[in-house]
Structure 1
Amino acid sequence: MARKYFGTDGIRGLTNANKMTAEMAMRVGMAAGKHFLRGDHRHRVVIGKDTRLSGYMLESALVAGFTSVGMDVVLLGPMPTPAVAMLTASMRADMGVMLSASHNPYFDNGIKLFGPDGYKLSDADEAAIEAGIDGAVDLAPAAEIGRARRVEDARGRYIHFAKSTFPENLRLDGLKIVVDCANGAGYQVAPSALWELGAEVVAIGVTPNGKNINDQVGSTAPLTLCETVVASGAHIGIALDGDADRLIVADEHGEVVDGDQLMATIAGGWARQGRLQGGGLVATVMSNLGLERHLAAQGLGLVRTAVGDRYVLEKMRASGYNVGGEQSGHIILSDYATTGDGLVAALQILAELVRAGAPASEVLHRFEPLPQLLKNVRFSGGKPLEADAVKAVIAEAEAELNGTGRLVIRPSGTEPVIRVMAEGDDAAQVEAVVNRICDAVRAAV
């Protein structure tokens, strides 16, 4: 069923426009709060946010919505998305909310919802909440209106949790680490956790002003991280995104290490320790074919899903995997977390680095990626992928790449764009295939 408000990761949009207004946030609080009023106990919701200016407005509106239906609110302040998920479960809350638009610019914001188990909501829960947003919601009697309080030690609780995922017999003494927090939700917790484990920390992207989140810093803009690693003589650099659920790494030479290489590193290390479950890992259709071949050479498998960390997690839970993620750096380690956690994933990478006693460039570059090219074709209407001419060109390309490469073509879930991706052993062939398909799509629209 088509959704009116929810996308693949909650509700997201331009603030003070369309579906991301204070009124909408209050309606979400009312509808979600009412949906999770189950049983006769005192109900509680945990709310965290990143550092966007609009977070103050939306947080206040959510509080009004939740308390109006009789739910108590616990405010965490700026905290990573995985911290909200963890604290929702540990505080026995009925649900959790994270205000963030992840890696988007400051003028966007979003509402991510978690159930009492710390997992993102099911399709059925989201559908029920959507119905409540547009419908009438019964308000609580005056004597049963909820209360709100702020928890001052939330950062300390999350830091303690993150450190507990790092092997007890290891330390980060002697490692100089650049950490880029994207001026986002991890700006306090990530540098503190690394320092407490013994690292010499060079922190950048830790001066949020409400408008500079993800601005030339963070996992989607790693140039500053790479330059700082080289300039400071650091052993490694780690970059988080705005809500700290994504991780990208730079080695000591300032070369970027993406999510595919990081997943390969963690899965390989866990396999050697006998910890890897499922006989491999779960990734999306966008992960490089080189990762698949690398895992196969070690006797490990790769299961692919649609794009989106929620689909990765669904497959992990259904089939018993404990490592999964996306090329973009969303890495889910289900032994520790119910969602992607950039800091926890970084600690697993650092553990591998300490164990190996070798430079990051040797430890983290696990395979040679195949040439991969992604292009977008914007269209104004219609269904260009259903055109006979486009189908014919795609069929020809698939036959041409058979055995030597891979083709992924999909409409974007957030904008009127067709994404065309191909990869293979021959870079020139990959480029030619992508261009032919893009030309066919443009002709069709």
Structure 2
Amino acid sequence: MKTTSLIPTFNLPADYKAALARLNIPPADPKHAHTTELAKTVRAIINRVRTEGDNALLHYTKTLDKLTTQAYKLRVTASDFECLTANPLDSALITAIETAITNIKTFHSKQTIEPIHHTGKLGEKLTLRPSPINAVALYIPGGTAGSTPLISTLIMNAIPAQLAGVKRLVVMTPPMPTGNLAPVLLYTLKRLGIDEIYKIGGAQAIAAGAYGTESIAPVDFISGPGNEYVTEAKRQVFGTVGIESLSGNSEIVVLSDGSSPTEHIASDLLSQAEHAGNEMVCLITTSLSHGKAVIGSIEKWLPQLSRKEIISKSLARRSALVIVKELREAHPFINALAPEHLELSVENPHDHLKAIHHAGAIFLGRWSSEPIGDYIAGCNHILPTSTSARFASPLTVQHFYKWTNVIDYTEDAFTAYAPHAARLAAAETLSAHKNALDIRTSSPPSD
């Protein structure tokens, strides 16, 4: 391993393990997860919300979100939207929001969910029936002190839930110190037709969604990313409610053959390093000189960016330049990382696509920049992180459905198959199961 001023260099295959160790956060031992300070803090917040309800929410919102007003109310009312009349949003921003909604709705509308039917040879009927989840809470991060909310995350959450037919859709998001929500968020909420909105964030919002308070009815499912307190709270309430995922820090891997401009590669890498200071950033290439040129471009751009301190922390903690002799040698390494975002910034990206099995989203070619997927392309940007792309998927309409088995058996089918079921029950020494089968075949049918 060698180091540059910003990003260490690794050579594969020799540095394979060292590079993985640099980029991955070791998973916490689940046997001891409940003893960590984070887990203890979150558990205390959840317990206080369960015990004190709205008063706990007010306490945490005032202390953690640093409210500067006494006129704060948990739920958004019609008066909150009056700011949109007094100070309308910029028309170009409105057009951008409308374009995002259109593209995301168009793609997600194709994710049709249909029941599955089967009729057996003796007339028995089996159905796998989908039903939308009844009540869902969407958690929307507030950004800096609630003033820079992730409206794209609201759109990405709300549209698939609405397309699924969720009856009750709740939004929870932290307020600004004034107790208000940012106008751009209010506009997007109104545009999406969501009217049950609570100005609460953090672990306390997750607790309120899962267990309810005097003012908030509990939900069945919680979706949306957040900070480590939100993620830990989702972990602790899972089972009481469903969750879409346990979101970690953002991740980007770029496989580059040098055919794209270095500034394009550098800007995409930087785009994923500005969230929390622990994002994973990796460039894989066959050319050390190309890698150094990209790092040079990063060094040039970094001082000009508004979140340069956060980006610098990410680069210091979880960045790497990985050198391979041939591009295909990167495939096993990429699959081991299972990154949230992967850019195949090469001349023939489809030649590599079939070899990549684990990634949340894959961007093909120089014009498929990762941020286009974050905002406007139409695919969902809520993606698996922390190597969970090995088994998890992007957020879809299907996340907001549950499935029910429906079994409709005829007498002929039961008579034919019950003896086999009875033998299996006997093999498991479950005599009550066996009796329920035998009693129907040993007694005459009732009228």
Higher relative contact order (CA 8 A, sep 6+): 2
Is the shorter-chain TM-score for this pair beyond 0.5, marking a shared fold? no
TM-score (ref. length: structure 1): 0.25
TM-score (ref. length: structure 2): 0.25
Larger Rg: 2
Structure whose residues are more often strand by fraction: 1
